[in-house]
Structure 1
């Protein structure tokens, strides 16, 4: 057998070429694998991220006002051009100077960090780029494992492939944590300095750019010295990169900064009580999954008017400021379409998230009376000139087996009065006489039609508002009166879209149900306007309201109310204590000024309008003493309105010779749309 010897030289050459082929093949396979991996990463979707997938709540103008998230994160997203250039430059200088030049990984920086760490035999230096930090914050935990490092590299590559550098930088500045619950530069700017990110100056930018490295350690609220030392580092980095001069750095470092008080810091979400209410509507009424709401990137288009909402919040806080433990609720609905325009569920959301707007444990007191009077007017059993004697009375009911003896506030009794005087003065005796005449069951039936869903007990005291209801129910019911007897179900959510803009839900067009005769609703409105006239229980705030308004106060030992409306808004205001503490005299008068302040501010850009007068209304001069048609001899004449067919036909014979002719009724016509002189006009009209 022949053998190959070393001298033949064939075997070493074969091995050499075989080695080269293996190297080339491995390199080719590696390149193919890398290409396949890059293609896979490019085509693969990035996982959901809490920050950019939180569903947003938008107001009636399409502006984002809140996010839905299980965490207590203070976050407001802004675009890159809404951020101060100083902040952008400071962040790049101290965090990632080569950001616009690398592909997501700073190879030089990583090598340098590796050498330093090997020298020190410890991890003393890192080299994460902004893209790596973003990938980590968006998609990963902060555990130090090899699997997390691999995922971080993959997500970093995907971010660089799918987004431009500006988009990555914008996402980073909206995502990074600045301490104190503030995620993103806009929330941080608002929290620390009470201003927008676009208005930050160099000194403020240098402070904030330094915080993310250690949000607790470098927080000016926690360690001012550390924050100033870090600010100096940031300013030095800006000088080193040529973005500012040393003189600018020195001036910025020496600047005295005005930080917002920690007590002034609140959640970035606006209208938090409304946000919580919408959350419940979306999940429980519209059937959306909570996980989808939390992380599905939905956009919830709502009815909220932020101008009205801010007016409501200011009205509540300004009146209750310094009143320890005193709570309030305000809800305002546009009666013409059912849109909820403002909703304040309490005085301070950070202290109590309980939404008093939907609390059904509060007695409405006399604010419930208009529902009963509307029932009386609609039935035809009573008119605005129907009279009862206001005096201590023992009422018998339940087939005379039970008795009820109501009292007027302060034991003040007015003698024989009509419905207008009874409403203005909130007379309890007249009210109970009315429910005894109409029947409690009929009042309950009408209340149900108008939107009262809480249980109502068919007893005489129902007339005085002893059956608890919520402010939401009261605003809904009064909206029916304002809307000429038409009920439109209140709505908060108009549309929901997914993260790609596809419509997932759209509210149906509002359907108006005529539950009360328009003429009856107008007659009651005309009577309720007297609540704000001289002698009315709302007179103390009449000077603050410069437009036609109708309403009713209500006071119990523990609850104060004012529920009222204009043609544009139906608003319920409640004030009281959570534990049922007795209200003092001053506290019981808080609801009316809240209503007045809110109504005027919310409608300051809306010209005053009168309540439209429907068909079927008759306007007549009445002698207030007899309740009959006034004559020229009657010393006092009162303009009153009636449902056509219920007006008095007899002429007053108590004055002059008793043979005077009736004064001709005024034609029903529109009044000028102004109210700086509204009360004077009404008095002139009735003279």
Structure 2
């Protein structure tokens, strides 16, 4: 007798119903798959669109460079015109199961998932060569489900319509190898000056490793990274049985003869800035490099091409006639951190090394304003603080160590104040200052102002012996110009894809008050004296037609001028790559470059006086004593500004006479100078 369930149905009938539904579902699924395959087989692939240029535009929206040049270096070849070692190397490192899958490597996907789970990140990918080809030919590289679905569809179509050898040939002629070279033939000619058919095993392994990161693994950019990648390629070739371990070892040890990178040309404007932006996009923002190459992105930058052209002209003219002499210039708007000009060297075609970012150069005396700002903001010193400029042996570290600095040309000025020390770049005063303030406090100030290069807390730090980059110096001085507020250098405003959708948009970081505005203004006021009579920048004062503050710096191998106006903070460095000692004439080239650039970049901007914040007072002082001037000091007295509460309270007694009126809140007053803006500010203060 058949048993019934509580619902009154036979279990056997329910089982038959289940299998019937499953069978119908399977048939429908097979029909759907069959219909999809028939549709894909009879639907033509879209027109290949691998030439969608990604553009870099300036602050006015004008294109200044492309990341995938329309005039690409591309030479198509047949599969039998490519060295077998290069084919085997590419398959081993990119898709070792290429000839055994149908466009999708299921085992590879599973293996990649396990590896990524083990490392808690995206360590290994699983895209086949066919998937990569479909993406490069027909799609952008956006990470959306729609794009992934289209990629799967085009991958299946490629596998249906072409043989494996045809797909491999298309891939090897399409893949990007960096520096504008698309395809193995163009890459082989660019890197080695030979056709792809003539490549050795070592050269093949080197080339096969580049597409994973054309900038990072380029031997022109980093030989270490390229050799590390070559070792991985050779290892995978051994694992797949393409070569023996001995062949891999011999290939890795082979000395490769690369074609000189100086033979490469670029038609882009601002190539050093373009490379800097590329690094940010790929390594900081995490945008896939292939998307940057093929995706038709628009990168809106902060660069001002008028300022850029002024910078390039100033660098070219400033170093003309001096072979191998290098220079760098970077200029930042201190009000918002926007990078306005960026020149990393004298000739990009001959030397792609970006000196703007090189943290290998001693700033010399151009570092001193950071130390003096520390002294002013700590109240341990004022601009009226006096030290004796004379040969001195300093004792430090519990009197266990000594340091004996010298002034340039053995020139010593006797008793001087901070303004005189800055103008004359006096080293004795500087070391007295750092021992008074404390080197660690100076380092802390430098860190907060944007310098992250290593710095040693020793007395010589006052003279700029710890190497920094021009980029860091321009950033730090921008803080002073910005009334003591932090400045985050910014190169990219936003990035949009080929459809105009925003992939990235810069979010301004709230500015932090690094030092009080009054301290930043007093420091600015003191640095203006560098361009006055007797200052180390005086030789370019006739060129400057606007208020400007700055500081020179000179070592045996480096010449600097770092300075600012209310609109631009600019660092200029001049020197040789191999540390060659600068001759006297060469050591004086930074200041003219700075002056020429600043005036040209701002020629359409009316001159502006540095705004004076609250908390600043002006008094007449006697520069010989640092005390309040009396009527007897009439020949020597100087109008000086102080952070309110730090101004001298004692009158000078060296010259007799009576005291002058009490200090007043400064409006737009600064020390006496011979410039027209000095006269204007004194008139404004006294009106």
For residue 628 of structure 1, report the CA deviation from its aligned partner.
Answer: 1.3
**Which deviations, in whole Å up to 9, do the C-alpha atoms of 1:48-96 show, x marking residues without a partner?**
32x3x12110101111110113898499xxxxxxxxxxxxxxxxxxxxx
Q: Secondary structure at the match of 1:65?
A: strand
Residue aligning to 1:539: 538
Shift of 1:678: 2.3
Q: Indicate the residue corresponding to 2:366 in structure 1.
A: 367
Q: Distance in 2 between matches of 1:454 and 1:414?
A: 33
Match of 1:355? 354
2 CA distance for matches of 1:366 and 1:536? 13
Deviation at 1:329, TM superposition (A): 0.4
> Structure 2: how far apart are the matches of 1:333 and 1:280?
19
1:504 is aligned to 2:507: no
- 1:363/1:465 contact within 8 Å kept: yes
Whether the aligned pair in 2 keeps the contact of 1:273 and 1:344 (CA below 8 Å) is: yes
What secondary structure is seen at the aligned counterpart in 2 of 1:554? strand
Work out the CA distance in 2 between the residues paired with 1:543 and 1:685. 23
Instruction: Indicate how the Cα distance of structure 1 residues 401 and 70 shifts in structure 2: closer, same or farther if over 3 A, else same.
Output: farther
1:47 counterpart residue number = 48
How much has 1:321 moved relative to structure 2? 1.1
How many angstroms apart in 2 are the aligned matches of 1:541 and 1:579?
28
User: Partners in 2 of 1:340 and 1:66 — Cα distance?
Assistant: 16
Whether 1:662 and 2:663 are equivalent positions in the alignment is no
- 2:454 paired residue number: 455
Confirm or deny: 8 A CA contact 2:264 2:349 kept in the other structure.
Answer: no
Give the secondary structure class of the aligned counterpart of 2:627.
coil
Larger Rg: 1
What is the rounded CA distance, in whole Å, between the counterparts of 2:299 and 2:416 in structure 1? 52
Match of 2:484 in 1: 485
> Secondary structure of 2:566's partner?
coil
TM-score, scaled relative to structure 2: 0.65
Which position in structure 2 is the counterpart of 1:272? 271
Partner residue of 1:169? Answer: none
What does residue 419 of structure 2 align with?
420
Measured in 2, the distance between the counterparts of 1:528 and 1:316 equals 24
SS at match of 1:382: coil
Using a 3 Å threshold, how does the CA distance of structure 1 residues 74 and 682 change in structure 2: closer, same or farther?
farther
CA deviation string 1:367-391 (max 9, x = no partner): 0000000000011010001000000
Describe how 1:467-486 pairs up with structure 2 within 5 A.
467-486=466-485
Matched with 1:11 is none
Number of equivalent positions:
469
CA contact (8 A) 2:385 2:418 kept: yes
Distance 2:332 2:263 in 1: 30
* Deviation string, structure 1 residues 20-65 (Cα, Å, up to 9, x no partner): xxxxxxxxxxxxxxxx999944xx543332x3x1211010111111
Give a deviation string over 1:114-144, Cα, whole Å, max 9, x none. Answer: xxxxxxxxxxxxxxxxxxxxxxxx99xxxxx
Change (3 A) 1:565 1:686: same
Q: CA deviation at 1:274?
A: 0.1
Task: Provide Cα deviations, 1:285-326, integer angstroms capped at 9, x if missing partner.
Answer: 111111111111111000000000000000000111121000
Cα distance, 1:265 vs. partner? 11
Whether 2:328 is the aligned partner of 1:310: answer no
Closer/same/farther in 2, CA of residues 407 and 671 from structure 1, 3 Å limit? closer
- 2:642 corresponding residue in structure 1: 642
Counterpart secondary structure, 2:318 = helix
- 1:649: Cα distance to partner? 1.0
Q: How far apart are the structure 1 equivalents of 2:507 and 2:308?
A: 24
- Say whether the 8 Å CA contact 1:299–1:497 is kept in structure 2: yes
Distance (Å, rounded) in 1 between the aligned partners of 2:478 and 2:558: 21
Q: Distance in 2 between matches of 1:404 and 1:571?
A: 32
Indicate conservation of the 8 Å contact 1:639/1:686, yes or no. no
- The alpha-carbon distance between structure 1 residues 37 and 399, as it changes in their structure 2 partners (threshold 3 A), is closer
Aligned partner of residue 551 in structure 1, secondary structure = strand
Alignment of 1:370-385 (within 5 A): 370-385=369-384
Q: Which residue of 2 is the match for residue 398 of structure 1?
A: 397
SS in 1 for 2:561: strand
Paired with 2:569 and 2:294, the residues of 1 have a C-alpha distance of: 35
> Is the Cα contact below 8 Å between 1:74 and 1:268 reproduced in 2?
no
Contact 2:669–2:681 (Cα < 8 Å) also in 1: no
Partner residue of 1:527? 526
In 2, distance between residues paired with 1:318 and 1:474? 23
Question: Is the 1:337–1:510 Cα contact (8 Å) retained in structure 2?
Answer: no
Aligned to 2:431: 432
Structure 1 residues 649 and 491: CA distance shift in structure 2, 3 A: same
Cα drift, residue 664 of structure 1: 4.3
| Deviation readout 1:479-526 (Å, 9 max, x if unpaired) | 000000001211101100000000000000242111111111000000
Question: How big is each residue's C-alpha offset from its partner over 1:214-239, in whole Å with a ceiling of 9 and x where there is no partner?
Answer: xxxxxxxxxxxxxxxxxxxxxxxxxx
Post-superposition CA distance 1:314-355 (Å, at most 9, x none): 000011112100000000000000000000000000000000
Sort the Cα spacing of 1:637 and 1:264 in 2 relative to 1 into closer, same or farther, 3 A.
farther
Does the aligned pair in 2 maintain the 1:367–1:465 contact within 8 Å?
A: yes
Residue in structure 2 matched with residue 651 of structure 1 by the alignment: 651
Aligned with 1:341: secondary structure? Answer: strand
Measure, in 2, the Cα distance between the counterparts of 1:71 and 1:396. Answer: 64
Shift of 1:637: 1.6
Gaps of 5+ in 2: 1-38, 75-136, 139-160, 167-185, 188-261
Whether the 8 Å CA contact 1:546–1:678 is kept in 2: the answer is no
Shift of 1:670: 3.7
Q: How far does the alpha carbon of each residue in 1:126-171 deviate from its partner, in whole angstroms, 9 at most, with x for none? A: xxxxxxxxxxxx99xxxxxx979xx9xxxxxxxxxxxxxxxxxxxx
**In the alignment, which residue of structure 1 is the partner of 2:556?**
557
Deviation at 1:561, TM superposition (A): 0.1
Equivalent residues of 1:320, 1:326 under 8 A apart: yes
Contact 2:572 2:594 in 1 (8 A): yes
Where 2:448 maps in the other structure, the secondary structure is helix
* Counterpart contact for 1:74–1:267, Cα < 8 Å: no
Structure 1 unaligned regions, length at least 5: 1-35, 76-137, 140-145, 152-179, 182-262
Query: For the structure 1 residues 511 and 686, does the alpha-carbon distance in structure 2 shift closer, same or farther, using more than 3 Å as the test?
Result: closer
Tell me the secondary structure at the aligned position of residue 572 of structure 2: strand
Q: 1:381 to 1:538 in 2, by over 3 A?
A: same
How far off its partner does 1:626 sit?
A: 1.8
Partner of 1:567: 566
CA distance in 2, matches of 1:352, 1:489: 28
Local SS of the residue matching 2:631:
coil
After superposition, give the CA deviation of every residue in 1:169-188 in whole Å (9 maximum; x if it has no partner).
xxxxxxxxxxx99xxxxxxx
> Deviation digits for residues 404-432 of structure 1, max 9, x if unmatched?
00000010100000000000000000000
Aligned residue for 1:323?
Answer: 322
| Separation in structure 2 between the aligned mates of residue 343 and residue 375 of structure 1, nearest angstrom | 29
Structure 1 stretch 446-455 or stretch 675-684: which is displaced more? 675-684
**Secondary structure of 1:642's aligned partner:** strand
- Work out whether residues 488 and 511 of structure 1, in 8 Å CA contact, stay in contact via their aligned partners in 2: no
Q: Distance in 2 between matches of 1:625 and 1:352?
A: 50
Alignment-derived partner of residue 623 in structure 1: 622
| Cα distance change, pair 279–38 in 1 and its aligned pair in 2 (3 A) | same
Equivalents in 1 of 2:511, 2:304: separation in Å?
A: 22
